[in-house]
Structure 1
Amino acid sequence: MSFSPRARVHLQNIVANWRTIDALVPESKAGAVVKANAYGHGVARVARALHEAGCRTFFVAYVEEGAELRNAIRADATILAFNGADPCDADLVRAHRVTPVLNALPAIRDWLALSDAPDYAVHIDTGMNRLGVRMEDVSGLAGLTACRPPVHVMSHLVDSDDRSRAINVEQLARFKDAASHFPHARKSFANTGGCFMGRDYGFDIVRPGIGLYGGGPPLPDGIELKPGMTLEAPILTVQSVQPGETVGYGATHTFDTARTLATVALGYGDGFLRAAGNKGFASLGGIVCPIVGRVSMDLITIDVTQAADLAKPGAFAQFIGAEVLLEEQARRAGTVGYELVTGLGHRVRRIYD
């Protein structure tokens, strides 16, 4: 038996989620965002499974991630790097056929000054005020790139988690205006939330990220996404406590009745958030087992009183999966699903099925 936590990565579920999103807007094609090691799921295995299913456009953050991805799939796929590239990265870009997404006029000028400049994409800032060429500079961008236009133009929604926000419609109008200057470039606007906002937001490519892995904003009626992973940790010990006793560092939880506790091998050293102490939960056979006390570096204690028959050393408690939905666990820890899965460390064994 292993006494370390494990993440069972469900490649079939990730592929099924990609197909579900791909079918939402038939005029568009779903790409896949696989930055941050495919949101902690393992980029090589995830990307190969998606490519075999028909995905041909992948998004990462850094050129170096793009090179790693190219080595994993070595196929007829387009790889775009959101954070752009410096001219000194040109050889890496050429060697691994990564398309940098350039985010400012100076960076675009420097790129076009290269002899035999590789293909590039452009990000238009339609309201995020984070990355991208500002709207007032789009006409200048069109003039600057007239002799060597971008192959891909994109922008990013500010709040697609709330599909009722007026800013989504405002951004859409801005992006349509900006994209009209680049008639031959492929267009991309919708992240996971945007994929659920209808055909107007689809353009050529949609960019599901967290949705591929079973997280993200509330889903529209009739749409179901499956968990991309099941995070489990083995029970090391089971013990009984009496009223008045406490548990864990700082004695932050005091019991008012007799309880049965289990200590499991998972902690913030594995990337499970310390903020989940006294708030998050695990599941044993579908029975909710609250986290009691602090999350420590290597250990978490859960209250298994209601699941005492299942709580035995060597049994695995679930912390993310079909019984513990990613976004619910994240909400209790005061964060979002992105942080829970991307933060999982190397001590968590990835097992692929």
Structure 2
Amino acid sequence: MTDFDDTFSDGDEFDHAPLRLTVDLGALADNWRDMKKRSGKARAAAVVKADAYGMGIEDCGTTLYHAGARDFFVATVAEGVTLRPHAPEARIFVLSGIWPGQENHVFNNDLVPVIASEEQLAFWMSTLAERGDHPFALHVDTGFNRLGLPLEDALFLAEDISRPASFDPVLVLSHLACADTPSAAMNKVQLESFRRVSAAFEGVESSLSASAGIFLGPDYHFDLTRPGIALYGGEAVNDVANPMRPVAKAEARIIQVREAGEGQTVSYGGSFLLKRASRLAIASVGYADGYQRSLSGSGIPLREMGYGGAYGFINGHRVPVAGRVTMDLTIFDVTDVPDNAVRAGDYIELFGPNVPVDEVARAAGTIGYEMLTGLGLRYARQYLFDEE
């Protein structure tokens, strides 16, 4: 049987990878410090769910811990287990709570489940009765209608003298539905509801705001804030200049640069008609890599509705996507780039410091969160950190 080489041993894999993702850990740390400062008297946690928004929970968790974060939020118990070695003395909150069969992971890794329903609360109380005290948080719904105990049920529970002695949360939290739109009336409605919760659970720390809520000001900060997307350089607030440093740069290698004549069409469906003799760069990225089909330059509903397609960036030039994005390949029109400034083997920036991720997301009809968390498995990664 033939022995196959399954490693990249010739040089640096990152240097010749078809796709690569550069994560600036120095920018990540700076963004956390920025959100810590904006949180005022409140402590700033770090949200690292979804593999740290696609950036890598191990490296990002370590960086944020060294920057000073001592409270972390993950979505699942498995994420908490992965994070624990990289944030050894931190409190790690699990937003999805706990289910039967996860008790050992929660206790052995000192995770803090966020109890979000009557069913979870009943299970957790029975678990504590059997295994002894362990910290937990309580999620209260103040109008989002997603997770959390109903407001009135939580207020009743706070005053219920017959509740189990083990009912002693270390944190009560809620989540804002419209914080990314500062003028939304819903923000003040939820704030007033959460103030009732915080007052009812006197002596228990409280948390209401994620990234966007922090920008709403001190009234929304309470004891602990939960910055997420802002840490990774994404826009937290609509229609406001983004003050955060970009963290992620995604690039694809150009496989071929080809000439095409006026009147020819490009990609599936023939929907992109060339109006001049053109040069086309075919890049090794597609919707299998999170570069969504809705970023196409033509042939999809968003373009037919008049919304512009995505751009890449190469050697000082912004270049548009031509035709439809396909599974593994995307075509960029590089006609306006000088001949000697683009060739096969070069890398084109898909998003990063020159093409903000949220700009690309808008071209896809989505948000930066989805662009970052939707990155596929084929990106070689490089982590940068500027030593002080």
For Structure 1 versus Structure 2, the TM-score category normalised by the shorter chain is over 0.9
User: RMSD of the alignment, in Å?
Assistant: 1.6
Give the counterpart of 1:52 among 55, 63, 66: 66
SS at match of 1:85: coil
Which amino acid in structure 2 is aligned with residue 13 of structure 1? A
Match of 1:41? 55
| In structure 1, distance between residues paired with 2:243 and 2:91 | 28
Letter in 1 for 2:360: Q
1:32 is the counterpart of 2:51: no
- The aligned runs of 1:128-139 (5 Å cut-off) are 128-139=144-155
Q: Distance in 2 between matches of 1:29 and 1:216?
A: 21
Unaligned runs of 5+ in 1: none
Name the counterpart of 1:207. Answer: 226
Confirm or deny: 8 A CA contact 1:282 1:317 kept in the other structure.
yes
Partner SS state of residue 112, structure 2: strand
Structure 2 equivalent of residue 259 of structure 1 = 278
**TM-score, structure 1 length as denominator?**
0.96
Query: Unpaired runs of 5+ in structure 2?
Result: 1-14, 298-308
2:370 to 312, 326, 339: 339
Are residues 1:14 and 2:45 paired? Answer: no
Q: For 1:10 and 1:219, how far apart are their aligned partners in 2?
A: 24
Q: Is the 8 A contact 2:71 2:92 kept in 1?
A: yes
Q: Is 1:31–1:207's contact at 8 Å kept on the other side of the alignment? A: yes
Seen in structure 2, the aligned counterparts of structure 1 residues 145 and 290 have a Cα distance that, compared at 3 Å, is: farther
Per-residue CA deviation, residues 277-331 of structure 1 (Å, 9 max, x unaligned), is 1111101133110001111111110011122332111111101111000111000
SS at match of 1:124: strand
- The answer to whether the 8 A contact 1:62-1:82 is kept is yes
- Map of 1:280 onto structure 2: 310
- Paired AA for residue 324 in structure 1: V
- CA contact 2:65–2:86 (8 Å) conserved in 1: no
Kindly, what percent of the aligned residue pairs are identical? 37
Compare CA radii of gyration and give the structure with the larger one.
2
The range that moved more, 304-313 or 215-224, is: 215-224
Q: Deviations over 1:47-93 (max 9, x none)?
A: 100100101111010111111111333x1101001111024311110
Aligned length: 352
Instruction: From 322, 330, 342, give the equivalent of 1:300.
Output: 330
Give the Å deviation of 1:140.
2.9
The reply to whether residue 95 of structure 1 matches residue 108 of structure 2 is yes
Paired residues of 1:291 and 1:301 also in contact (CA < 8 A): yes
For residues 222-262 of structure 1, the C-alpha deviation after alignment (integer angstroms, 9 at most, x for no partner) is 87211111001111111111111111122121111111110
1:93/1:118 contact within 8 Å kept: no
Supply the AA of the counterpart residue of 2:22.
Answer: R
TM-score w.r.t. the length of structure 2 is 0.87
Alpha-carbon offset, residue 117 of structure 1 = 4.5
What is the DSSP-based 3-state SS (H/G/I as helix, E as strand, rest coil) of the residue aligned with 1:113? helix
Residues 159-178 of structure 1 mapped to structure 2, 5 A cutoff: 159-178=178-197
More displaced stretch, 329-338 vs 174-183: 174-183
Question: Is the 8 Å Cα contact of residues 8 and 230 (structure 1) preserved in structure 2?
Answer: yes
What residue in structure 1 maps to residue 355 of structure 2? 324
- Counterpart of 1:81 (choices 94, 99, 103) is 94
Residue 26 of structure 1 aligns with an amino acid whose one-letter code is G
Distance verdict in 2 for CA 1:105–1:140, change over 3 Å: farther
**Is the CA contact (8 Å cut-off) linking 2:229 and 2:236 kept in structure 1?**
no
Q: Which runs of 4 or more aligned residues in structure 1 lie more than 2 Å from their structure 2 counterparts after TM superposition? A: 143-148, 216-223
Matched, 1:291 2:321: yes
Q: Quick one: distance in 1 between partners of 2:225 and 2:99?
A: 26
Q: Distance in 2 between matches of 1:3 and 1:108?
A: 48
Whether 1:2 aligns to 2:16 is yes
Letter aligned with residue 331 of structure 1: R
Going from structure 1 to structure 2, the CA distance change for 1:65 and 1:3 (only over 3 Å counts) comes to: closer
